Amino acid sequence: MTAVRASHVYKVFGRNGKEVVQGLKAGKTRDELKRLGTAAVIDASFEVEKGESFVVMGLSGSGKSTLIRMINGLWAPTAGTVEVAGQDISRMSSGQLRKLRSDNIAMVFQHFALLPHRTVRENAAYALEIKQVSKTHRLERADHWLQVVGLGGWGDKYPGQLSGGMQQRVGLARALAAETDILLMDEAFSALDPLIRREMQDQLVELQSTLNKTIIFITHDLNEAMYLGDRIAVMRDGRIVQIGTAEDILTDPTDEYVASFVQDVDRTRVLTASSIMQRPTAVITDTAGPRMAIRMMEDVKTSGLLVTTRDRRLVGQISDRAAVNASREGAKDLRSVITTENVLTVRPETPMSELFAQSSSSPVPLAVVDEQDRLIGVVPRIALLNSMASVSPSTGELPITRLSDSDTGQQAEADEVVASRPTAGDPAGASAVGGASAVDYASDSAPEGVSGEGPNDIDDAGRPGAASPIGGTAPFVFTPPESAGASAFGGESPEAEPPTGPDAPAPTDEKGV
Amino acid sequence: MEFDFFNPRIPFGQWIESFIDWSTETFSLLLSLLSTVLGGLYDFFFWALSSPVYLIMIVVLAALAWLASGWKLAVFTLVGFYLIRALDQWTNSMSTLALVIVAVLIAVAISIPLGILAAKSDIVSTILKPVLDFMQSMPALAYLVPIIVIFGIGQVPGAIATIIFALPPGVRLTELAIRQVDPEVVEAGQAFGASDGHILSRIQLPLAMPTIMAGINQVIMLALSMVVLAGMAGAQGLGGAVISSISSLNIALGVEAGLAVVIIAVYLDRVTAALGNRSALERARSA
């Protein structure tokens, strides 16, 4: 269901608004029409679904603040229509408009816009005061929402006694207390310190997961846009130049402008497990026999398999050794040898920044599961690194053994195999390498396109090395997708790398702030 | 009358004179009503201030000072007004105080709404600006004459001259105060669906109050500075005493009446300034 729909909206400041719109429609530029009036918003069309977080991003002067003010009718569009909850607001009387604002749309402001002469509690109750809710009830509601935003007990203070971050929490409580479906946030966190801003962003995301409001968020900070937005509209000089998910904009910018904009974005906060996960192929159902498992490992050239139930619910993993033992003991199925050891699961929406630590402590690819625990993909460590940047040959400290092509997997979808397990080397050492590399790549991350095809770059880099079989010094085994020949390459031993603890944090978290 | 370009003479004064003659006749009913209201108000306040025993009045004034500001001002009030009584200027002072109260009440009642209008509308603001300039810079003696012509001699012309002179800062500072209110806060009111009246009474006026109070303080001080002129128009009180001291070269009376004016001025200034610091906004700031 559409909460807000804008179609071909223009806003021109100046007396000859209609003329300017005509001119713009006839193809003239904004600068040519400057003398007639300033076109702040040009031909903006978008729809925001109910429950969606829609971010409008652009530099100052790009028209984003004007755009948001047309949604609640503070500005009337010069041309075009804005519909809120199915009603065209340009046809409303000022009374209807006021009712719409108090019932449907709440707003959070850049500089908080609190009433300095009222207490925090009275400020939070302001929207309800306009709705003419009785005093005791509205103060009660205000206290509730202050509690929700983490300001319980501050109700009797005045806004001037609070820090900026706390004041904006009051602003947020005031907007939430209005209990509207739509929340407009105009550069709501831009005036805050970076650390506080980050905290507020996290809080908003958390609140949104329970409140499920339609949020329209204005920002000039792309990291913020990418972190908060289900979809993002990028504005430039009054026009919306691209609308898409964070990933669309990051991986497929429409023009140079958007591309240069996204250059510096902190990818680890934007990309999620789902955007870098690969299709799991080294997977077997738990009803299969050990022989089947061994054959499959041979086919897909791995030394371990993830095990699911028939309805693809992840139950654990088995190693080649366990499968061979089970086969020797004549086990009918794999259930007895499944282990959950080392199997870490993440959700598709987990941001990449949170995958590093987990990945570095796990020798097996991270399993991506949905709400029902169903396996929907895997994130091998190398895919994680590769998403940050192309891996250059000079930094190749990962001893990698490429085995062979794998187009013969038992599962029809098998086109790439990613599986790994610690072998001879001690797992901690292997993890240490992974951890260290994660740090290295993350901090070196070059702003190039994110490649979805994981290991290819390594393949292209083609570092020649002695072929080393499974169980050599290689802690990882994986097969790149379009691998042609059987040219295996391995590398120096993991010990060459200074060991960094497996819990080495991914430092990229702070980057975008 | 022929107009000689090289020796120009425009009979502007005569035009005004005839205009005043005309309006005195045309609006005589209205003018006499105005005169009655102002006279009645003055009589009421003068009665209220002068009929109690002077000691009781001093205590009441000191109590007001205490409530508004604190014990220091209360002590000053006790000493100051006792001094006024000792200078034998008590009745004159109460008369002047009554005149100032009436003039200020009416000036404020006119200037605040005008200031609000001027803040809301650029057209009103543009029209008011030269009018206010005119009222402030025109020598008071120049408009005292037509006022005396219209209203005769007494308290009423004194009050009207005082209102005209004291009004402009009230309008100007009210307009400024409301225009200075953070537009984002006003927008917040609008965004949550508040009506214009609600925004004015709950957001703009409270936030503008410290500056508006400064304007009212200016109105009071200007009104007090007009008492001598009011005396010229035949008003009783300290102004009248100063005028008669000039005409009779009575140095003692002039000095005593002048000192009483100063004491009243300091009292009114400190009390109104203290009231300005008690607005909701100032309370919040000092919390």
Q: C-alpha A47: how far from its chain's center?
A: 21
Main-chain dihedrals φ then ψ at residue A60, nearest 5 degrees: -65, 140
Residue B32 to residue A129: CA distance in whole angstroms: 46
Taking CB atoms and an 8 Å limit, are B283 and A126 in contact across chains?
no
Residue with tokens 């209220």: B48
Interface confidence (ipTM) of the complex: 0.80
| Residue ranges of chain A assigned to CATH 3.10.580.10 | 274-510
Q: Is the CB of residue A242 less than 8 Å from the CB of residue A253? A: yes
User: Tokens standing for B8?
Assistant: 């120009």
End-to-end C-alpha distance for chain B, whole angstroms? 70
Taking CB atoms and an 8 Å limit, are B192 and A178 in contact across chains?
yes
Residue A260 to residue B13: CA distance in whole angstroms: 72
**Among B245, B221, B216, B252, CA closest to B231:** B245
Tell me which DSSP letter residue A496 carries: G
Radius of gyration, alpha carbons of chain A:
28
Main-chain dihedrals φ then ψ at residue A476, nearest 5 degrees: -115, 145
CATH number for the segment(s) A274-510 = 3.10.580.10
Whole-Å CA distances, B87 to A445, B80, B93, B100, B264? 89, 11, 11, 20, 13
Three-class SS of residue A133? coil
Q: Is the pLDDT of residue B104 over 80?
A: yes
- Of chain A residues 160-189, which have a CB less than 8 A from chain B? 160-161, 174, 178, 184
Three-class SS of residue A43? strand
Q: Using CB atoms, which residue from A99, A158, A174 is nearest to B193?
A: A99
Whole-Å CA distances, A463 to A362, A393, A459, A489, B248? 25, 6, 8, 7, 116
Q: Which amino acid would we find at residue B42? A: Y
The dihedral of CA A428, A432, A433, A438: what is its sign? positive
- In the predicted model, what is the mean pLDDT of chain A? 75
B198 → chain A, closest CA residue: A130
Q: Is the pLDDT of residue A397 over 60?
A: no
| Mean of pLDDT values over A245-250 | 84
State the number of CA atoms in the 13 A half-sphere of A402 facing the CB: 25
**Among A338, A265, A234, CA closest to A513:** A265
Q: Is the CB of residue A420 less than 8 Å from the CB of residue A380? A: yes
- Position A269 scores a pLDDT of 67
When pLDDT is cut at 50, 70 and 90, the band that residue A482 belongs to is very low
- In the predicted model, what is the mean pLDDT of chain B? 91
Q: Is the CB of residue B231 less than 8 Å from the CB of residue B238? A: yes
Mutate to test the interface with A, among B192, B199, B203, B285 (most CBs of A within 10 A): B192
Cα angle A62-A63-A68, degrees, rounded to a multiple of 5: 140
Three-class SS of residue A423? coil
Radius of gyration, alpha carbons of chain B:
22
**Among B141, B180, B137, B159, CA closest to B223:** B159
Contacts of B210 in chain A (CB under 8 A): none
Taking CB atoms and an 8 Å limit, are A117 and B287 in contact across chains?
no
- Position A15 scores a pLDDT of 83
pTM for the model stands at: 0.68
Burial (Cβ within 10 Å: 0-12, 13-18, ≥19) of residue B136: middle
| Per-residue pLDDT reduced to its tens digit, B49-76 | 999 999 999 999 999 999 998 899 999 9
Instruction: Identify any residues that bridge with A185 across adjacent strands, giving them in sequence order.
Output: A108, A217
User: Tokens standing for B217?
Assistant: 């303080």
| Per-residue pLDDT reduced to its tens digit, B158-212 | 999 999 999 999 999 999 999 999 999 999 999 999 999 999 999 999 999 999 9
Residue A58 to residue A49: CA distance in whole angstroms: 21
Q: Which residue has the higher pLDDT, A96 or A281?
A: A96
Taking CB atoms and an 8 Å limit, are B188 and A107 in contact across chains?
yes
Residue A454 to residue A461: CA distance in whole angstroms: 13
- Pairing between strand A214-219 and A53-57? parallel
What torsion, rounded to 10 degrees, do the Cα atoms B254, B255, B257, B263 define?
A: 160
In which element (H, E) is residue A306 found?
Answer: strand A304-308
Main-chain dihedrals φ then ψ at residue A32, nearest 5 degrees: -65, -30
Write down the domain spans for chain B. Answer: 28-286
Residue B160 to residue B229: CA distance in whole angstroms: 11
Size of interface A-B (CB pairs under 8 A): 77
pLDDT above 70 covers a percentage of chain A that reads 73
- Position A435 scores a pLDDT of 37
B28-286 folds as MetI-like fold (1.10.3720)
Taking CB atoms and an 8 Å limit, are A102 and B203 in contact across chains?
no
Kindly write down the DSSP assignment for every residue of A86-117, as one continuous string.
TEEGGG--HHHHHHHHHHHEEEE-TT----TT
Contacts (Cβ under 8 Å, ≥6 apart) of A257 = A234, A236, A241
Is B286 near chain A, with CB under 8 Å? no
Contacts of A114 in chain B (CB under 8 A): 185, 188
Minimum mean pLDDT among A33-37, A307-311, A495-499: which range? A495-499
End-to-end C-alpha distance for chain A, whole angstroms? 34
In which element (H, E) is residue B100 found?
Answer: helix B90-120
Query: Nearest CA to CA, how far is A76 from chain B (Å)?
Result: 13
- Position A350 scores a pLDDT of 81
When pLDDT is cut at 50, 70 and 90, the band that residue A463 belongs to is very low
Residue A427 to residue A438: CA distance in whole angstroms: 16
When pLDDT is cut at 50, 70 and 90, the band that residue A461 belongs to is very low
Residue with tokens 């400290």: A397
Q: Using CB atoms, which residue from A74, A99, A174 is nearest to B190?
A: A74
Contacts of B279 in chain A (CB under 8 A): 117
**Among A348, A368, A349, A346, CA closest to A357:** A346
Burial (Cβ within 10 Å: 0-12, 13-18, ≥19) of residue A74: middle
| Per-residue pLDDT reduced to its tens digit, A264-321 | 776 776 677 777 777 777 888 888 888 888 888 888 777 788 888 888 888 888 888 8
A177 → chain B, closest CA residue: B192
**Among A119, A117, A118, A141, CA closest to A128:** A141
| Mean of pLDDT values over B218-234 | 88
Q: C-alpha A26: how far from its chain's center?
A: 39
User: Tokens standing for B21?
Assistant: 């003659």
Q: Using CB atoms, which residue from B193, B194, B281 is nearest to A117?
A: B281
Is A118 near chain B, with CB under 8 Å? yes
- CATH class for the region spanning A2-85+181-265: alpha beta
Whole-Å CA distances, A447 to A375, A444, A506, B226, B279? 31, 9, 17, 75, 56
